[in-house]
Structure 1
């Protein structure tokens, strides 16, 4: 990429060479010495082009303004602050562990609220962030990450923004699958771990077995010479919860946690959602600086001018120092959970950053597409060359196309398909649902994700679902009456859920309903064909098979198959089934009979096997289950 009046250094950077290479190339270019030596500006575009050609590159012309716009305009984390400005800050603590091991019950006791009663099915559906002030005057900021298997990504983000992980393990269950996942996440994030062995009041509690399970997975407890504190508790009764708080404060003091109150704000998005009354909301943990009303923030390709801040109880707050969990309004778009938050000085700087980041996304997409295009072009050239070789080998004969043209066969292979629109209340829940859908691997039915988003179900969602003859799945969202009426009139099915595993149970049912009925053959009887008779009926001679039933029973109302070796001679129905001269409906084992089939003359011989069977049509089930 070149432009007029480039310096030697700029041209060298554009080609990935050093300045000596440019000076050497100029020696081989006509009038290459005609540039301003004072500031090394090459004042001829033709000379610049020749240097690029001599260097073995192709060039693309762009104006100086365009080149300047493509310079890195992003914002990144600030250098570490001076130690003199740092002050003590509260620890950020993440509660992690297996589902139903008592994480939410513990948090419920800490903040004296009834969170468990409000959750659907006893499962925490979102990351919650709040601060607890202890009697000693110390504060702790808690992140409550969900324990459900579908929320692995959210738990992982929880570990990355935290200082200390409290690993809750039930004394009656011991170390479980998600306990191991939580240990790995905490260790990967390099954060300290404190173990809370919960449910010690239950008769089945086994502290020693639980401790041994933890040690087996790399958690070195203090009692075996390690540095991990372990506190037996009963979250339901509050037993030893104060000791757990003291353990957290002790660990925080050992870590000497400090924060910068005066620098530009830096933080992490914990959760995002759209509130019908307040608009776009984002919950974040402030990691540096003090957030105040009116601040300009950037997170991913979203930005905000903070119009208000609230604590976990919904009460307004004026400022949020480091280690504070705060909910903000004023976002123009919703950032994704886990995005880094940066404060910038002006709205102009915000827009500059957003424009640069969006441009980088476009460039990345173009680069990915170019790789795909190059691969397809290479494949096409390879096929084309093979075809040319065949043409030369055949001489004058024309190479004919085999099979239908590509357009004729690209109509579809007849595989059933379920099209879905997914809406969720918050970004984290939506991500968890989409991550689970990404594991879909059945070839029986295609799962087509038409659209997804955060917020209540809208008219656009209904129209999209109608266009693709699909369903709408809503998670913790509502359907306005007008939208429900519209969906009913367009015959669009809306499935609302507030527990994730029930949503996927419903999805599995709908996928299964798209599958065609499976046919199962039920053999009811077998017979040996002993002799073939020709019988006159009216003016026609018909073939009758003289048989002996050897297994089960033969039923005139069922289907028949005549087999000779591995070949099927006949498939159809029986017009007549007789025992001696009497017409009967069934013939049992070891009874001889005569069977006339619905073809007047068929090629049957003594020694053939006669099979009587019934076809049963069964509903199929999709061969995929989420990893819950």
Structure 2
């Protein structure tokens, strides 16, 4: 055994390293000095010696045949087939891509990967392995089916339906529906002995109210009061989908109206039993029999006319026959055997959501399964929250909410949309995973929609190209000449079309949806209307900046504006308009549109005359035609404009050169007087029976033709 002393060679800062066998002779010894490290490599016949400042290692040197085999394995068929791979692909997925087994994948990676679930994140390492297999790789996005599997695995879903033995009785959810101003809220007011109708602006319910009513008999019923106004059809549809029984309120003096028929349609689509309350029987114009006949024509067969639907005549204002209505509801609920499972994870439905300036993001839900408690972690759509406080419709704090009961939840991070399904999850991590996969699903849907638009544009460009190519070939040019780049188009600021930019802020999400649906019906080309921003809550400083930038108007619907924001708006010249009834807001938008429309010219008829005979008079050497007429309507004025109408068609428009009564030149002719009219155009030939209309043009303000449907 001989020793190789490296210390004198490398310097005093390096320790003396181990020895090597006497049979191993080094062919060369080299070293290089770096900033903080010294590496020395020695080679002998069969081994490679690698020395570092802190370690020494021996590695067997490969033979020439082994190196040749490695080169063949690594570079064999470099121009082979292309396989599609993606980042973070697993060994198992790569085996499917290569159409090989897992052992083959281990071999091409020199057994440096072990488990089939091992994720290959190093793209260079992945490329080396694929090159050893004689293929080339192409990096693509992860296939959608894998994302869909991930969504199925990580998304939250309602539990399977409970067995009949697990069901416990719960209060029925009753939705009150009907036409506007037929007394729905007044009826609920009478049932729960409150004064809800006094709080509704203009006597119109602006959002869905959910509250529990304890009847005199002790029975509990959860009522949903849906708006009857045409603008709230989407909210009424959500009410029908939440409910067990629909109470259709029909006024005895009005009968079946448009929203009444729509409510019947929604209830039938939701397959919910209907109970009719014929309200306002105390009205002098009440006609119960006529209303019952109208219900029959609408397809609702009441018991009195041989059907199965109960119809109770009531007076919500004078509280007549309310006990009969309550008994009918309890009887209908008993027949339906309404029950729910109060155990396990909570399932609920969002009725309404809003932003409170003091309590934050709130939403009203009706629990359908499980028992909601403080601290529960909930997911609704892509929103999550931890329950901080539970309140009933009267604002009282609740410790727990069993199935069938409504409650208002505090603790949401974002506002869930009305109609969303609320599910309880085990932890915040689980909730974040659910939201992540749901957002991925929404992104995939958006990409699919974008792909359709892109394909349509591509087809349009292809069609234009082929048409242009066909045109050039028809001219004898068989090659399509490449056109030079076009100069970028400068946007035109002098667009004559007027525009209205608006920002909408509302108290609750459902009312905001109804406003947006009403504004979405505007499609008139007379004036552009752009919705710059919308949201739930009070007017903020950001809204003022947006309105100032876009020169828009802020509509605050049943919400507030802090004093400092109001002062900022006044200083910035931003107009904030407050409303609490939706049709008044729409009327205000119409007025703003009308004020921006330019005035238009309109013809105003002054009088009409009938041609009796044509005369010809001499003017110099020419004969000029003159119409002998009788004024049959209004007054004819010489300075006005005239139309000659023959067989319903206008054959001439122009001015007069002469108007005479008898032999005198006059300025006007009244009704039943005869006159002679000479036009400035001397080529017009009159015929008996022609109509001459005297008119002048006036400018009048334009009115938009927008009709939102109410």
TM-score between both structures, scaled by the size of structure 1: 0.82
Is 2:454 the counterpart of 1:377? no
- The equivalent of 1:345 in structure 2 is 426
Within the candidate set 510, 528, 542, 1:428 is matched to 510
Superposed CA deviations along residues 18-40 of structure 1, whole A, max 9, x for unmatched, are xxx9579x99xx99xx9999969
- The equivalent of 1:308 in structure 2 is 389
| 8 Å CA contact 2:630, 2:675 repeated in 1 | no
Q: Secondary structure at the match of 2:489?
A: helix
Is 2:140 the counterpart of 1:60? yes
Following superposition, the deviation at residue 414 of structure 1 comes to 3.8
Q: 1:69 to 1:593 in 2, by over 3 A?
A: closer
Q: 1:11 to 1:559 in 2, by over 3 A?
A: farther
Is 2:147 the counterpart of 1:95? no
**Larger of the two Rg values belongs to structure:** 2
Which of 66-75 and 258-267 deviates more?
66-75
Within the candidate set 268, 272, 280, 1:191 is matched to 272
Following superposition, the deviation at residue 326 of structure 1 comes to 0.4
Which of 606-615 and 344-353 deviates more?
606-615
Q: Secondary structure at the match of 1:304?
A: strand
- The equivalent of 1:621 in structure 2 is 703
Within the candidate set 319, 331, 337, 1:250 is matched to 331
Following superposition, the deviation at residue 421 of structure 1 comes to 1.5
Is 2:623 the counterpart of 1:550? no
Unaligned stretches of 5+ residues in structure 2: 1-83
CA distance in 2, matches of 1:421, 1:9: 50
- The equivalent of 1:262 in structure 2 is 343
Alignment of 1:514-553 (within 5 A): 514-523=596-605, 533=619, 550=629
Following superposition, the deviation at residue 582 of structure 1 comes to 9.1
Q: Secondary structure at the match of 1:407?
A: coil
| 8 Å CA contact 1:35, 1:42 repeated in 2 | no
Alignment of 1:122-521 (within 5 A): 122-223=203-304, 226-395=307-476, 407=489, 414-521=496-603
- The equivalent of 1:80 in structure 2 is 161
Following superposition, the deviation at residue 271 of structure 1 comes to 0.6
Following superposition, the deviation at residue 232 of structure 1 comes to 2.1
Q: 1:273 to 1:556 in 2, by over 3 A?
A: same
| 8 Å CA contact 1:529, 1:607 repeated in 2 | no
Following superposition, the deviation at residue 369 of structure 1 comes to 1.3
Is 2:194 the counterpart of 1:116? no
- The equivalent of 2:79 in structure 1 is none
Following superposition, the deviation at residue 214 of structure 1 comes to 2.4
| 8 Å CA contact 2:656, 2:678 repeated in 1 | no
CA distance in 1, matches of 2:407, 2:214: 15
Q: 1:35 to 1:217 in 2, by over 3 A?
A: farther
Superposed CA deviations along residues 265-310 of structure 1, whole A, max 9, x for unmatched, are 1101111111122111111101111111111111111111111011
Q: 1:171 to 1:494 in 2, by over 3 A?
A: same
Following superposition, the deviation at residue 135 of structure 1 comes to 3.2
The CA RMSD measured in Å over matched residues stands at 4.3
Which of 290-299 and 583-592 deviates more?
583-592
Q: Secondary structure at the match of 1:323?
A: coil
CA distance in 2, matches of 1:564, 1:96: 58
| 8 Å CA contact 2:174, 2:243 repeated in 1 | yes
| 8 Å CA contact 1:569, 1:604 repeated in 2 | no
| 8 Å CA contact 2:629, 2:677 repeated in 1 | no
Following superposition, the deviation at residue 478 of structure 1 comes to 2.1
| 8 Å CA contact 1:166, 1:194 repeated in 2 | yes
Unaligned stretches of 5+ residues in structure 1: 16-20, 536-542, 598-602
Q: 1:275 to 1:573 in 2, by over 3 A?
A: farther
